[in-house]
A and B are shown apart, each in its own frame.
Chain A
C-alpha cells in the first residue's frame, strides 16, 4: 500500500468506527449513547449549542466559501 491508500484507509477506519458505535448504540444493549444523544447532550447549553451549529456552518464555509 502506498501512502495515498494508507491515508484513505485511515478515513475509512474512522467512518467504520462511527458506524460501529452507532450500531452498538441503536441495535444492542451496550452502554453506548447514539450520536444523536451525544449531540443533544452537547447542545443542552448555549455555548455547546452554538459551538455545534458553528461547526456545521464552518463545514459549509470550508467547502464552498471564499
Chain B
C-alpha cells in the first residue's frame, strides 16, 4: 500500500492506532478538552494523530520493524565548546523562566511561550535522541512492575481527587488536586519562574535520554 495516497494515509493512521501511546494521548486530549482546556486538547489530538500516522506509515513501509528505536549519530561538542553550550543553555533557560514566569497564568503570552518551547522539544524528540545511548538491556520485571504500580497509584489518587471535585472545572478544598495545591506557589511571578526552571530541567533531562 502506497502511504502517499489518500487511502494509504488513512490506512497508515488506522494501523498506527495499535500503538498504546496514541490511545493514551487521545484520552488525555479528551479529558483535557472537557476540563475546560480546549487548546491543550487540540494540541494533544494533533500529536496523537501525527504519531498514529507516523507509526502506521513506518509499519506499512517496514512490516515487522514495529516502532523500533531511532538514534542519531553522536555529535556532542567537547571541552570548551561544550562548556559554552551549557552556559548558553543555562542563561537561555533562566531568561525563559524569568520572562514566561512574569506573565499571568493562562494568559496568551504564557500560552505562546509554553506551546513554542513544547513544540520545539517534541519535534527534536520526534527525530530521535540527541546522542546514541547504550542499550541497557532488559529491565528486571518485578522491579519494573513495582515502579508501574507506584506511578499508576499516584495517578489514580490524583484522578480520584479530580473526580471528587464539585465539577471538573471547580476546585475542592476537601479533595485537592496537585494543581489546586500548587496554586499558591504559582500565584506569584518568582514562584512561576522557579516552577518553570524545574520544568525546563526535566525537559532537558528527558531530551538527553
A interface residues (Cβ-Cβ under 8 A, vs B): 2-4, 7-8, 10-11, 14-15, 17-18, 21, 24-25, 30-33, 35-41, 43-54, 56-66
Contact = CB atoms under 8 A, between A and B. Distances in A.
19 contacts: A3-B174, A8-B176, A18-B151, A21-B146, A21-B147, A31-B140, A40-B133, A43-B129, A46-B51, A46-B54, A46-B70, A49-B125, A53-B121, A56-B206, A60-B117, A62-B37, A64-B111, A64-B113, A65-B111
A48 B67 contact: yes
A4 B176 contact: yes
B178 interface: yes
Nearest to B174: A3
Contacts of A37: 136, 139
Interface of B: 19, 21-22, 24-25, 28, 32, 37, 39-40, 43-44, 47, 51, 54-55, 58, 66-70, 100, 105-108, 110-111, 113-115, 117-119, 121-122, 125-126, 128-129, 133, 135-136, 139-140, 142-144, 146-147, 150-151, 153-154, 157-158, 161, 173-176, 178-179, 181-182, 186, 192, 195-196, 199, 202-203, 206-207, 209
A50 B179 CA distance: 24
B174 A57 contact: no
B122 A64 contact: no
B122 A63 contact: no
B167 to A, nearest CB: 17
Given A37-B136, A50-B125, A57-B121, A64 B143 contact: no
A58 B154 contact: no
